[in-house]
Amino acid sequence: MNKDSVVPVAGTDQEATTGPAGQHDDDESYILPQIVLAEERYRVIGEILEEVYRPGKERWLVSDMLDRVLLHKYLGVPVFLVTMWAMFTFTFEASRVFSALIELFFEWLGTQASLVPVPWLQSLIQQGLIGGVGFILVFVPPIMFMYLSIAVLEDSGYLARAAFVVDRAMMRIGLHGRSFIPLLLGFGCSVPAIMAARTVDAPSNRLTTILVAPLMSCSARLPVYILLAGVFFPAFAGTVVFAMYLLGIVMAVVMALVFKNTLFRGESSPLLMELPTYQRPTVHGVFRHTWDRTLLFLKKAGSYLLVGALVLWCLSYVGPGGLDVPLSESYIALLGHFLAPVFAPLGFSWQIVSALVFGLFAKEVVVESLSIIFSVEGGAAIGAALTGVLTPVSALALMVFVLLYTPCIATIGTTHKETGSWAWTAFSVVYQLVLAYLMALAVVVIGGLLVA
């Protein structure tokens, strides 16, 4: 490194030097405190280097060559998109065998549960516990492989560069760069993403970030994508899952622009970040990160997803007529039939509508609900059952709806806590539901025209 070294500053097309930066166009005297601190730091570094460093013959390093491509203002975004597509394709393909083995295990477990002599207890174990929680555990391998891929990208140093590239693209269209980190966290869970909006300086920018963060596709939605993509688009499942994540990014950016130009009018603020050096990911570090994140999913499956399975089974087992009623006369069917006319234009049956309602508790419950409903209804494999109530177009619309409507109750609670307003919380829920419905309807209309 020589005294003329530069450091990339996200949200700009140029590299940051020790010259004046961060000034607002309308106020030459205003400089962000973060930029002042950064400039002072590199000024001191420059003075030290002048005394102790004597530049030798310039040579290219591997890291320099990589950054020329990965941080290129034109190639950076395409490389990022290809990397994400490869990650989701790998996630889906590598997990097939492991998911199939887990599914076979629970099928065997279900046959053993058929030996239970008490009918209601047998139904609870087979259709409630094994059909609900057991079916959710089938999606542990793809989730684990996704976390594995993210850990490799993170430990190698590429993920920080991806943040720089995407932030620069956001700043070009007028969005505040500091929102990128909360949005990035949204790929894991919407709750910490909303909480991370505290780092955004202007109140209007912070509120915009809180409103659009839930549109990023959290890991809880992944089981729904994998299930539907595997059933209806088996040859392109990885690409379809990648498209859902990409659509979440696009919709978050679009809605941020809408809010910025209507409800909130504020200035963009740059994201200052220091890029780490490239490193070779260690086996211990990668697997430690993967296991820690997967363990959180397993704890979720063993806690409130277990409770959800019991509640769903009770609602499918009990109706106004008493216990052990036909599914069509159960409380869960009554709920689905009541709301079905609203979702009829989207091609969703009452079973799908019921699952979406319970998906407000957590997105994994959508898959859990479908498994329990179809298991109770006829014991058919869920794939065959889904093809009986959905077409490929309506399945794609369902994925889009799951992507865009309210992630979970925890997200609603966090939104209220961070905004301190029930009005903004209600607005967040309502606009996401309306957006999800309109986008799913657009998929049905456009898909119907293309298929026809």
Query: What is the DSSP track for 68-124?
Result: HHHT-TTTHHHHHHHHHHHHHHHHHHHHHHHHHHHHHHHHHHHHHHTT-SSHHHHHI
Residue with token string 């295990």: 105
For residue 275 the two structure tokens come to 């890029």
Residue 44 maps to a domain: yes
What pLDDT score does 59 carry?
A: 64
State pLDDT tens for residues 73-106. Answer: 888 888 888 888 888 889 888 888 998 898 888 8
Q: Check pLDDT > 80 for residue 128.
A: no
Residue 267 CA to residue 264 CA, distance in Å, equals 10
Backbone φ/ψ region at 34: left (φ over 0), alpha (ψ -120 to 50), beta = alpha
Same domain, 28 and 152: no
pLDDT above 70 as % of the chain: 84
What pLDDT score does 256 carry?
A: 86
CA 416, 420, 426, 431 dihedral sign is: negative
Annotate 382-393 with DSSP letters as a single string: HHHHHHHH--HH
Same domain, 97 and 193: yes
Same domain, 111 and 234: yes
The parent domain of residue 17 ranges over 7-56
What pLDDT score does 60 carry?
A: 64
DSSP 23: E
Q: Is 175 exposed, middle or buried (0-12, 13-18, 19+ CB in 10 A)?
A: buried
Contact 172, 77 (CB under 8 A): no
State pLDDT tens for residues 262-313. Answer: 877 655 555 566 777 888 888 988 899 889 888 877 887 677 778 888 888 8
174 band by pLDDT with thresholds 50, 70 and 90: low
CA distances from 347 to 99, 328, 351, 375 (A): 29, 19, 11, 21
The helix/strand/coil state of 247 is helix
CA 411, 417, 421, 422 dihedral sign is: positive
Residue 299 maps to a domain: yes
Provide mean pLDDT across the span 339-348: 94
Residue 396 maps to a domain: yes
Q: Which residues pair with 322 in a beta bridge?
A: 319
Same domain, 85 and 16: no
DSSP 30: E
The helix/strand/coil state of 28 is strand
Residue 403 maps to a domain: yes
20 band by pLDDT with thresholds 50, 70 and 90: very low
Same domain, 27 and 142: no
Same domain, 175 and 302: yes
CA distances from 83 to 25, 142, 439 (A): 36, 17, 26
CA distances from 225 to 120, 126, 167, 365 (A): 32, 24, 27, 13
Residue 280 maps to a domain: no
12 band by pLDDT with thresholds 50, 70 and 90: very low
Backbone angles phi, psi at 403, to 5 degrees: -60, -40
Task: Note the pTM of the prediction, 2 decimals.
Answer: 0.77
424 band by pLDDT with thresholds 50, 70 and 90: very high
What pLDDT score does 21 carry?
A: 36
Q: Which of 72-81, 219-228, 327-336 has the lowest mean pLDDT?
A: 72-81
For residue 247 the two structure tokens come to 């659509």
Q: Check pLDDT > 90 for residue 355.
A: yes
215 band by pLDDT with thresholds 50, 70 and 90: very high
For residue 123 the two structure tokens come to 């139904």
Same domain, 22 and 104: no
Residue 363 CA to residue 219 CA, distance in Å, equals 9
What pLDDT score does 391 carry?
A: 93
Same domain, 88 and 38: no
Contact 338, 297 (CB under 8 A): no
First vs last C-alpha separation in the chain: 61
Kindly state the helix (H) or strand (E) to which residue 56 belongs, with its residue range.
Answer: none
For residue 179 the two structure tokens come to 């929102």
Most confident of 36-40, 44-48, 213-217, 277-281: 213-217
Closest to 201 measured CA to CA, from 179, 170, 186, 184: 179
Residue 125 maps to a domain: yes
HEC assignment per residue over 321-384:
CEECCCHHHCHHHHHHHHHHHHHHHHCCCHHHHHHHHHCCCCCHHHHHHHHHHHHHHCCCCHHH
Q: Check pLDDT > 60 for residue 23.
A: no
Q: Check pLDDT > 70 for residue 58.
A: no
For residue 422 the two structure tokens come to 């029930």
Q: Which of 141-150, 162-171, 350-359, 431-440 has the lowest mean pLDDT?
A: 162-171
Closest to 363 measured CA to CA, from 440, 304, 287, 279: 304
Q: Under 8 Å CB-to-CB from 377, ≥6 apart: which residues?
A: 327, 351, 385
What pLDDT score does 214 carry?
A: 93
Total count of domains within the chain: 2
DSSP 10: B
Residue 32 maps to a domain: yes
Q: Check pLDDT > 50 for residue 27.
A: no
What pLDDT score does 109 carry?
A: 86
32 band by pLDDT with thresholds 50, 70 and 90: low
Kindly state the helix (H) or strand (E) to which residue 318 belongs, with its residue range.
Answer: strand 318-319
Residue 303 CA to residue 310 CA, distance in Å, equals 11
Contact 141, 95 (CB under 8 A): yes
Residue 65 maps to a domain: no
Q: What is the mean pLDDT of the chain?
A: 81
How many residues belong to the chain?
452
Provide mean pLDDT across the span 235-252: 91
Same domain, 45 and 80: no
DSSP 187: T
Q: What is the radius of gyration, based on Cα positions, of the chain?
A: 25
Contact 127, 372 (CB under 8 A): yes
Same domain, 119 and 244: yes
More confident residue, 8 or 254: 254
What pLDDT score does 177 carry?
A: 58
Same domain, 429 and 346: yes
Q: Check pLDDT > 90 for residue 220.
A: no
Same domain, 194 and 45: no
What pLDDT score does 56 carry?
A: 64
